[in-house]
Each structure stands twice: as C-alpha cells, then as structure tokens.
Structure 1
Amino acid sequence: MIKTGAANWIAGTIFHGLGLGGAGLLAMLLVVMIVLQLLHVLFVGTTAMATGIIPIVLALAETAQVDPRVLVLPAGMIIGGYPVLMFYNTLPNIIVYGTGRLTVLDFPKVGVPISLLACIVYVICASTYWRWLGMF
C-alpha cells in the first residue's frame, strides 16, 4: 500500500474527510483510535487488520505531520489488545461464543464500553506519560 501510494491517498481522504486538519493532536489521536475500534467489526482477525491498517496510520501521521509513533503505537495496541467488539475478532472469542452461553449481541454490550475506556486511557497516557517520554 505504501509503494503504490494507496496508503497516502486513503490517509489524505480520511484526514480531510474527518476534518482532522484543524484538530489538535489529542483529538486526532482519539478519533483515530475510535475509528480503529469500530473497524474491528469489519476485520475477522487482528493480523489482517494490522496488515491493512498500519500503513494507512503511518501515512496519516505523515499527512498530519506528526511523529508516527504517536499514532502507530496506540493503533497497534488497539488492534491487538482490544478485539472485543465481535465474536469473530480472535480465536478465544470464537471458542467462548462456541460454548453457546453467549449471543452475538453479548460481545458489543461488553466490548463497546471496554473499547471506549481503552481509547480514553490511551489519550490520558498520551497527554501525560508520552509527553514525559518526549514523544510529542
């Protein structure tokens, strides 16, 4: 995606389409993380999602002229650490769903609050701890 320029095109479309040009860095970070959380609904696994999304996040950081670590670090954490929105996001989710004790709607009931909380925690980390580390 990077070699063909597709990542840059998608990143530019997202950046301007969501009006991130005038947004502050923390607001942009929050929007990126929430969008990534919602994309868990479309992807069947975290590996496929990371492979398809990380080049776009890198290009988005370049478009926004921010240190790529500021967007890629939480993107990787959200992609790999919080695939809790749907039963098909990870193999453990599928196993739990296969027991028959949970319905499809049980996953978003728990996953949405956990996902939103994760996004808030990452923004708090970015506004404090990451600043202390000199990331931005």
Structure 2
Amino acid sequence: MLTPKIGVFSWKEAEANIPWGTIILFAAGISLGTVLLKTQAANWMSTAMFSSIGISTLSVLGIIAAVAAFNFLIHLGFASATSLASAFIPVVISLTQGLEGYSIATLIGIVLIQQFVVSFGFLLPVNAPQNMVAYGTGAFTTKDFLKSGVPLTVIGYLLILLFAATYWNWVGLL
C-alpha cells in the first residue's frame, strides 16, 4: 500500500487518511471473540447468563425470545454493534453448543438471528456510531432517542419473533 520507492503514499498521508480507529475496533472485536471462545470464557458466560432461566427447557422460539431480550438489554452498554457482536455472539455460540436435541441448522439459525438483533441500537445515542453523529449535531436530545427508540425496539423485537415463527422456520433455518 505504501510502496515507499514508488511514492503512492507516504506514511504521513496514510496515517492521516486511514480510519485507524475503525481498524483497531474491528481487530479488537475479532480478538475478543476469539479469546472468549478459545479460553472457554464464552461457555462460562453462557452458563452464568442463561442457566438460571432454564433456557434448555424452552422451545426454539422461547430461546430466541429470551436471548434477544437479553441482547437488547446489554446493547445499552455497548457503543457499537461491532463491539457487541464480538463480545456476545461467542456467548450465543457457546449457548447453542450446549443445547441438545436441535438440528445444526436450528442452532446456526439461533446464532444468525442474534446477529440481526445486534444491529438494533435505537435507544441511546451511544448505541451506534450513526446515533452519535446525529446527537453530536445538537438537534436531538437523549429523550428524543428514547421517544423514537423504544417503539422501534419493541417493533424490532416483535418482528424478530414473527420472522422466527414463520419465515425462518419455513426456509429451514429453525
């Protein structure tokens, strides 16, 4: 990329024009997910989070509903879908590995559906970079985000459940 002898980019130009923060965020997220899976921390977290509600006794739709609700809740503490996905999806993978009596397609479907839920960062300005940009203009308050975010989150949750009960079931994902 730099090709120093040819002169395509100097280091100063590359440093100024490349979004290093984004690259570091992705690298940290991928590293976090890998570490969670390799150290069995994701398995421990999955057990700690979901065993108390008896998740293994729920139907597939019940599992999706419970995990999606938890996903919405913890999204409040993450500034981007990337960081949430890198921390939470390994936990969901570990959760599905502990579920018995379901096909591989169903287990993959549960994880895939949670990937959709990760992108529902509507409640607070810090839940998504695009929210922070809009909030930074001064045209919106946190209360404005909540006024529109709560209905959007409820609608998104209901749509996830509707699609899980119908479409994703019809196409063999669940």
Of 129, 154, 174, 1:116 maps to 154
Deviation at 1:109, TM superposition (A): 2.3
2:96 paired residue number: 61
Equivalence map 1:53-132=2 (5 Å): 53-65=88-100, 66=102, 67-80=106-119, 82-132=120-170
CA separation of 1:18 and 1:108: change in aligned 2, threshold 3 A: farther
Q: Which amino acid aligns with 2:143?
A: L
How far does the alpha carbon of each residue in 1:82-129 deviate from its partner, in whole angstroms, 9 at most, with x for none?
A: 111110122221121112222112212221221121111111111111
Calculate the aligned-residue CA RMSD, in Å: 1.5
**Structure 1 unaligned runs (5+)?**
none
What TM-score do you get using the length of structure 1 for normalisation?
A: 0.90
Matching residue within 61, 71, 81 for 1:46: 81
TM-fit CA distance, 1:42: 0.4
- Unmatched runs of 5 consecutive residues or more in structure 2: 1-35
Q: Which has the higher contact order (CA 8 A, sep 6+)?
A: 1
Work out the percentage of aligned pairs sharing the same amino acid.
30
Task: Give the TM-score, by structure 2 length.
Answer: 0.71
> Any idea what the Cα deviations from partners look like across 1:14-72, whole Å, max 9, x if unmatched?
22122323222111101111111111110011111111111001111112234332221
Q: Which segments of structure 1 move beyond 6 Å, counting only runs of 4 or more?
A: none
Residues 71, 117 of structure 2: 8 Å contact kept: yes
Which letter does structure 2 place at the counterpart of 1:96? A
2:71 and 2:146 mapped to 1: Cα distance?
15
